[in-house]
Structure 1
Amino acid sequence: MERETISPLEPKLFGKWDYDGVEIRDPSLKKYICLKPVWTPYTAGRHEKRRFGKAEVPIVERLINKLMRPGRNMGKKAKLYSVVERAFDLIYLMTGQNPLQVLVRAIENSAPREETTRIMYGGIVYHVAVDVSPQRRVDLALRFLTEGARMKAFKSQKPLEETLAEEIVAAANDDPKSYAIQKKEEIERIALSSR
């Protein structure tokens, strides 16, 4: 079997997926979804010391990091790297599109625009609707996508990569059955009622 040669001038994610042509439609999220071309999405925490440094971390690495929650996969970055790689292959088979574009669309669709915060006046707590910052929108979207995938894979026959691919594709299509879309709509509904 002949190995495909890859040009060192144009890095592709996992050696397969091109960064060219991936567009972010939401202008507020443009600065916080990093699509800088890299071979391997691994920065080893170089962003930790700078304010808003995680905006420069590749979005795929942030997805991998969100999958490393306390429990079965805590600290197993190499394992989750291969899980995300297989999930991207499944996304390509399901949609026929670049998985990076599908992931960006899923983040845009599942990022809440409004939520509530607690304000205290004289010992009484009020919930007040506030706009969500773009950085937090990306964080919440990634959390909802990975939470939904982990919950579907837990005590199930389906592997994590399959549930992750299904969750990302469902969120990209704005499917109301997606866990991420349900959580976003719930947060926005609560914020609307507390205006």
Structure 2
Amino acid sequence: MAAEDQPDPDKPAGTDEEGAAAQLFGEWDITNIEYDDPSTERYITVTPVAHTMGRHAGKQFQKSEISIVERLANRLMQTEENTGKKQQTMQIVRDAFEDIHERTEENPIQVLVQAVEHSAPREETVRLKYGGISVPKAVDVAPQRRVDQALKFIAEGVHSSSFKTTTSASDALADQLVGAANYDVQTYAVNQKEEKERVAAAAR
């Protein structure tokens, strides 16, 4: 490798040859994302790549290395009528991000990270059997599962808000993310998280 091709050790990671910050969709900066929840920080990955072409498929726990934006898009596809429509789903996410920026004037990736953190349940219940009797027991949720559950709740909220209604999927996604980022309990994702924790508290 020629000397001019060597990476500059003084240049921050995530910048291109001109020194511009790495951007998702060529528009949103990913270098200054803040995390409020240290337990889930390592499982909420932000990268400028929004479509990895399934290179992580089949690798255990590799999903945590995938961009949280792509994981959200993949989760949105997990309904019968939307299976496999990756390009359409990515366009929905892009439209939702633009809508979020217009509403809040904030980086929509930061809003997504906050929404995931606020929608991630800390406790849930399992069923233990004692002599044929099922007894609910409250348990802590692993950080990786917390992120999985948050994405599930957000996707379910988008589907329920936009399916057979006049609300577009991108508007529904923007509503869910902004509401969850603001910890609005009327938002489906936050409501489900609160419900899980309420049931767990009763089973302690």
TM-score (norm 2): 0.88
CA offsets 1:63-88 (integer angstroms, 9 cap, x no match)? 00000023221110000010000000
SS of residue paired to 1:28 = coil
Match for 2:31 among 12, 20, 26? 20
Q: CA deviation at 1:118?
A: 1.0
Q: CA deviation at 1:8?
A: 4.2
Within 5 Å, give how 1:167-178 maps onto structure 2. 167-178=176-187
Within 5 Å, give how 1:182-193 maps onto structure 2. 182-193=191-202
Aligned residue pairs total 187
TM-score (norm 1): 0.92
* Alignment correspondent of 2:175: 166
Q: Is 1:33 the counterpart of 2:48 in the alignment?
A: no
SS of residue paired to 2:34 = coil
**Contact 2:72 2:155 survives alignment (8 Å):** yes
* Alignment correspondent of 1:65: 74
Return closer, same or farther for 1:147/1:116 CA change in 2, 3 Å cut-off: same
Q: What are the ranges of 5 or more consecutive residues in structure 2 without an aligned counterpart?
A: 1-14
Match for 1:120 among 129, 136, 141? 129
* Alignment correspondent of 1:93: 102
**Contact 2:35 2:114 survives alignment (8 Å):** yes
CA offsets 1:39-86 (integer angstroms, 9 cap, x no match)? x31112222343321110000000000000232211100000100000
Task: Look at both structures and tell me which one has the larger radius of gyration over its CA atoms.
Answer: 2
Within 5 Å, give how 1:147-166 maps onto structure 2. 147-166=156-175
Aligned counterparts of 1:82 and 1:101: Cα–Cα separation in 2: 19
Q: What are the ranges of 5 or more consecutive residues in structure 1 without an aligned counterpart?
A: 1-6
Aligned counterparts of 1:63 and 1:169: Cα–Cα separation in 2: 15
**Contact 2:22 2:31 survives alignment (8 Å):** no
**Contact 2:121 2:146 survives alignment (8 Å):** yes
- Structure 1 counterpart of 2:44, which letter? I
Aligned counterparts of 1:125 and 1:44: Cα–Cα separation in 2: 43
Extract structure 1 runs of 4+ deviating beyond 4 A: none
SS of residue paired to 2:70 = helix
Match for 1:141 among 137, 147, 150? 150
Aligned counterparts of 1:164 and 1:143: Cα–Cα separation in 2: 13
* Alignment correspondent of 1:77: 86
* Alignment correspondent of 2:116: 107
